[in-house]
Amino acid sequence: MGTTWSARIVDAPPHCAGVIHSILAHVIGEMSNWEAGSDVSRFNGAPVGAWVTLPDNLLCVLRAGLDVARMSEGAFDPAIGRMIGTWGFGPPGARGEPALHPSSAPWRSIDVEPGRARRRSDVQLDLSGIAKGFAVDAVARALLDLGVQHFLIEIGGELRGAGVKPDLQPWWVDVETPPGLSLPALRIALCGLSVATSGDYRRFAMEDGVRLSHSIDPASGAPVANDVASVTVLHESAMLADAWATAIMVMGHDRGMALATREGLAVRLIRRQGDKGQEYMTPALAAMLD
């Protein structure tokens, strides 16, 4: 999926690495737009209107993505593959002209039934904003099934921790502050929790001297253009933390934090104010830090 992963495991069983590799291979084989033979690529290449049989895990991720799309009024959209390709943030060779008007809400063109899904218009799934989180959850479940109680999993900057380190300290994680902004570090202990961050500084492209965020606003079909520098979400599910961080980043401070508060999400948002940053937290996150 164009990113890296790591795992820190206390008293790892001998076959642990093989199990992780197998899980990640399955996720890539199902959900990676970077693999021409993946299930999501097969879905994107099927005729419009045709039902396509899909694996259960892919359908699970797709349903979760559509749920967040509905709750965020399309700020998170798992069907913006063509928009992503237009701006050059997809797999190599995916860049092209936009195939739909931005206001068409691509996610509304996806139908899901037990065991299958279809496109009702020529949209393209891109699960890069949620699949990495799913992979973190899948690895964590597998480790727990193996009897492993203490670990920290990271995939593309999304993390999940369980138990404690060998020195009995929790898995402390410093939430990164966008470069150039002077703000105190936010240190959190991941114990049965996941954390995901979306920011305008982690992946971007330069075009005619302008820095373009990799986060695409489905409403405009263009990179996000607001003053939000980063959004961090803590959640029991890395998959949902991943998706919500993107949604709130796209929505911006006012709408995003209002929605996060209504949904009871633990969120930290940083806005750019010139060369300074302003930090905001939802009540759910503030309560965790008390």
- Nearest residue to 33 (alpha-carbon basis) of 74, 63, 61, 56: 61
Element (H, E) at 53: strand 52-53
Question: Cα(149)–Cα(171) distance, rounded to whole angstroms?
Answer: 12
Alpha carbons within 13 angstroms on the beta-carbon side of residue 110 total 28
* CA–CA distances in Å: residue 191 to residues 56, 124, 159, 178: 28, 36, 11, 25
pLDDT tens across the length of the chain (290 residues): 778 999 999 999 999 999 999 999 999 999 999 899 999 999 999 999 999 999 999 999 999 999 999 999 999 999 999 887 665 565 655 444 444 444 479 999 999 999 999 999 999 999 999 999 999 999 999 999 999 999 999 998 899 999 999 999 999 999 888 877 878 888 999 999 999 999 876 655 555 555 556 678 888 777 877 889 999 999 999 999 999 999 999 999 999 999 999 999 999 999 988 778 899 999 999 999 87
CATH value at residue 266: 3.10.520.10
Element (H, E) at 247: helix 238-251
Domain membership flag for residue 277? yes
Angle at 259 between CA 215 and CA 199, to 5 degrees: 25
Name the residue with tokens 């898995």: 171
Residue type, 13: P
- pLDDT one-digit tens code per residue, 231-249: 999 999 999 999 999 999 9
Domain membership flag for residue 96? no
Domain membership flag for residue 211? yes
For 270, the domain range is 157-289
Domain membership flag for residue 143? no
As for how many domains the chain has, the answer is: 1
Domain membership flag for residue 60? no
Domain membership flag for residue 215? yes
Domain membership flag for residue 252? yes
Domain membership flag for residue 233? yes
Element (H, E) at 152: strand 151-155
